[in-house]
Chain A
């Protein structure tokens, strides 16, 4: 009996010694839908990693408040009080840009979940422990332009662009306009104040232009007013295409969302094994299905980190970074591996434009419509607005 007990103790001690434990800081805007989804994804991935037994990831979660004023002190706390060496975070570009200085000061391994702006790419260009999973904004533009090319082939000729006049909407507008014109489109672009709720005047101005596509670059607060007021002024475009970072809660249930198109990196209906596996695990843990692509993005980050820690057999951040750079895995978005970014500014870029898909709202859900190999149904063009 004594011998059995000693063997058990030795076995458990051996397992504990073989298991690598890492503490990871999670810095996300957890009061937003996207931030909460990302956190759920990270937690789900960590659960999978820990269940494997070889790696134990302990999470320290803090809210970045979706604002630099909260995010910078929160990162400082993670680094100085919780003493983590690895941080998962950086959802919003503005917040991540503000974090670039403190990150360089404290030198963590920074696994960036969002932050598509090339301004962020530039800010982290000289930082070697920066792994960016999300595509950059030029990838987003390339994916959207591919869709516009398809629309042009289907007869669309005039694009009215409604862009918010802050950094998000107006930063690349001239380039965007030029690229659409190169595709053969006639473009009319007008700025607006996000959250103003009153678009009737600008939409009335667009009426004379008779656009085939109404393309709005703004935020979730603008989605419903634009969908409603487009009808109210009788604009009648053939497609309303939106590019907000997130869509409002409940928009899919509103009949005004019908036929509105947009872009996302993932939907639960995406048909690949990893996506199906993720959906099943997510449903089992949280009792629901999410269509926020930040959830699988968080999941992918946790799984890839688990693989890197296992390969490194160490909690040392540089050894983990070296192994993470070699990771190749299938994910709900498709294959993941790290390469230098297209501009060469950062060394470890995960996904590119290939993960983006175009969707259209129809009867309460978002359905992939483009590219053809990932479409769940054909695009409704012209849409009924």
Chain B
């Protein structure tokens, strides 16, 4: 029973980081309609911002969260203006090739600037552990989970309770009609893409604390983020946390209870994508 409880907690806490990465991707897909393959590289930039601020200026990653969000918002806004906006009307394949190219370019730029080395931070709380009854868990994954839930609740509130949020939702539903009502569609897209990048940047800061910083750090989590947004329904922000929890729990249960299950982790999320798509197509028949 204790093992099951520990496994469930492991899974739920792992979902925090998954959801943090996936929420930005869901926003880009849901509002701008762009499948952003460079989302993981935005996280990588966030991780490097955190690492460089820590090593260069001694700034704790917790304090870097806000700064990374601002930096990545600007990066996202510039990306939108310079690259995404010109291809918004182009076929989806062109858009995907563009973001894929951006992903490769950013990764190689990081390689040129920082080299291929894996770098780790050294904060006093990376190994901090909380124990409740017979189970224990790390403070950083717990903080990532709380941060993720907090950010998504904030995002829901913004989308559901503010005029700007209503405008974002309107643009997400229809690209033309909101423009006829005086909503500046391009500004909304820019805001949404910037927010998406900012969320990726904050996820990157957490990656730098919990894992490492390197030019490829974002890649593995982007794959999981794609699985999560497919499961949640493309662009459905409300489905992100439940989908992340299902994916992370599936991984944790397989790793714990299936002998040699650690090697099956990637198969689990591909299986999840397969089942979600199959079930959705069967349901809509």
Contacts and interface: CB of A to CB of B under 8 A. Distances in A.
Contacts of A253: 122
B111 interface: yes
B127 A255 contact: yes
Interface stretch (A9-17, A40-48, A187-195, A332-340): A187-195
Contacts of B66: none
Given A32-B115, A33-B117, A234-B131, A224 B10 contact: no
Nearest to B11: A201
Interface stretch (A52-60, A112-120, A243-251, A341-349): A243-251
Given A201-B256, A221-B211, A229-B138, A248 B127 contact: no
Contact of B136 (A31, A162, A227, A234): A234
B200 to A, nearest CB: 16
B221 to A, nearest CB: 8
B120 A250 contact: yes
From DSSP, what is the main secondary structure of chain B's interface residues?
Answer: helix
Given A224-B211, A228-B126, A191 B262 contact: yes
A193 B126 contact: no
A231 B127 contact: yes
B252 A255 contact: no
Interface in B249-272: 251-256, 260-263, 265-266
Given A228-B126, A233-B136, A255-B127, A198 B251 contact: yes
B116 A31 contact: yes
B121 interface: yes
Interface residues of A, number: 46
B124 interface: yes
B176 interface: no
Interface stretch (A127-135, A141-149, A202-210, A264-272): A202-210
B256 A205 contact: yes
A191 B138 contact: no
Given A193-B265, A201-B252, A254 B126 contact: yes
A205 B256 CA distance: 5
Contact of B111 (A31, A191, A202, A228): A31
B87 to A, nearest CB: 28
Contacts of A200: 10, 13-14, 137-138, 141, 252
B141 to A, nearest CB: 7
B116 A224 contact: no
A262 interface: no
Contact of B262 (A36, A165, A195, A219): A165
Nearest to B138: A232
A175 interface: no
B280 interface: no
Contacts of A165: 262-263
B122 A255 contact: yes
B30 to A, nearest CB: 26
A162 B210 CA distance: 19
Interface in A168-221: 190-193, 195-202, 204-205, 207-208, 219-221
Given A29-B116, A225-B211, A251-B120, A198 B7 contact: no
Contacts of A246: 117-118
A200 B55 CA distance: 28
A140 interface: no
B120 A193 contact: no
Contacts of B117: 32-33, 220, 246, 248-249
Interface of A: 29, 31-33, 36, 66, 162, 165, 190-193, 195-202, 204-205, 207-208, 219-221, 223-225, 227-229, 231-234, 246, 248-251, 253-256
24 contacts: A31-B111, A31-B112, A32-B116, A193-B262, A197-B211, A198-B14, A200-B13, A200-B14, A200-B137, A201-B262, A205-B3, A219-B118, A221-B211, A223-B118, A224-B120, A227-B127, A231-B129, A233-B6, A246-B118, A249-B120, A251-B120, A254-B120, A254-B121, A254-B126
Given A200-B141, A201-B262, A248-B118, 18 more contacts: A32-B116, A192-B263, A192-B265, A193-B262, A200-B14, A204-B256, A221-B211, A221-B212, A229-B138, A232-B127, A232-B137, A233-B6, A233-B136, A249-B118, A249-B120, A251-B120, A254-B126, A255-B127
